[in-house]
């Protein structure tokens, strides 16, 4: 399954002026193909499948926050990594989501070619759809290798994106509670 992709990476090595026949590079096209398929596997996954029915009844309607979830993604402009942490909060309405599923949902959207803004929005909308929550807040803090290794070459800049849905959008108190909990 990785073979056509390996062949393409062998050509890429040649185009970059490398010798794909030298010892250190012999298995590289195969490894890169496998790595890239893993790093983009989210595009073939469905949120319903990773959630696996782990939605439970609960009368607790207070804020639930899963914070500091690390992720790695690939920017769709350069196919270079961006990575950081994601904080996901919601206000349940009769049902709660299994805690590990927040990380699984994040990875479905992170493991594909992305931009940080869309990743943030897609995670928020997915959590909203799955839980029918009164509101969802997602904040992502990330560093982009396309701004570090190349281009502007800025090592310390960090990008924060947020999406607030429902009560998180309407109520400044809810948003403030979320922000104070992730600080």
Question: Is residue 98 within the footprint of ligand GTP (CB under 6 A)?
Answer: no
Question: Would you say 78 is a known binding-site residue?
Answer: yes
Query: In the chain, how long is the greatest CA-to-CA distance?
Result: 63
CA atoms within 13 A on the CB side of 18: 15
Helix pair angle (116-131, 100-110), 10° resolution: 140
Number of residues that bind ligand GTP (CB under 6 A): 10
Question: Is residue 150 within the footprint of Zn ion (CB under 5 A)?
Answer: no
Query: Shortest Cβ distance from residue 155 to ligand GTP (Å)?
Result: 14
What SS3 state is found at 157? coil
Question: Is residue 115 within the footprint of ligand GTP (CB under 6 A)?
Answer: yes
Candidate residues 47, 63, 69, 75; the one interacting with ligand GTP per rule CB under 6 A: 75
Q: Which does 117 bind (CB under 5 to 8 A by kind): ligand GTP, Zn ion, none?
A: ligand GTP
Cα separation of 3 and 1, whole Å?
A: 5
Answer whether 90's CB lies under 8 Å from 130's CB. Answer: no
Q: Vertex 118, ends 68 and 155: CA angle to 5°?
A: 60
Of the listed pieces 20-28, 40-48, 104-112, 114-122, which binds ligand GTP according to CB under 6 A?
114-122
Of the listed pieces 13-21, 33-41, 95-103, 142-150, which binds ligand GTP according to CB under 6 A?
142-150
**Residue 130 buriedness (CB in 10 A; 0-12 / 13-18 / 19+):** buried
Candidate residues 10, 87, 111, 144; the one interacting with ligand GTP per rule CB under 6 A: 144
Question: Is residue 122 within the footprint of ligand GTP (CB under 6 A)?
Answer: no
Q: Vertex 159, ends 156 and 163: CA angle to 5°?
A: 160
Candidate residues 44, 77, 95, 150; the one interacting with Zn ion per rule CB under 5 A: 77
**Residue 1 buriedness (CB in 10 A; 0-12 / 13-18 / 19+):** exposed
Residue nearest to ligand GTP (CB): 151
User: Which residues form the interface with ligand GTP (CB under 6 A)?
Assistant: 75, 77, 115-117, 144, 146-147, 151-152
User: Which residues form the interface with Zn ion (CB under 5 A)?
Assistant: 75, 77-78, 146
């Amino acid at each position: 399954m990785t073979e056509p992709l390996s062949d393409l990476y062998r050509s890429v090595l040649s185009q970059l002026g490398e010798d794909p026949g030298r010892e250190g590079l012999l298995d590289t096209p195969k490894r890169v193909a496998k790595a890239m398929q893993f790093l983009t596997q989210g595009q073939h996954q469905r949120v319903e499948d990773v959630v696996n029915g782990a939605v439970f009844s609960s009368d607790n309607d207070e804020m639930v926050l899963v914070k500091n979830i690390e992720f790695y993604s690939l920017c769709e402009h350069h196919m270079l990594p961006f990575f950081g942490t994601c904080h996901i909060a919601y206000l349940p309405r009769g049902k709660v989501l299994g805690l590990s599923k927040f990380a699984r949902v994040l990875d479905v959207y992170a493991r594909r070619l992305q931009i940080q803004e869309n990743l943030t929005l897609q995670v928020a909308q997915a959590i909203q759809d799955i839980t029918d929550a009164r509101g969802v807040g997602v904040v992502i803090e990330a560093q982009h290798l396309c701004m570090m290794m190349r281009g502007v070459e800025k090592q310390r800049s960090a990008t924060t994106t947020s999406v607030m849905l429902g009560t998180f959008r309407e109520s400044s108190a809810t948003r403030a509670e979320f922000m104070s909990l992730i600080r």
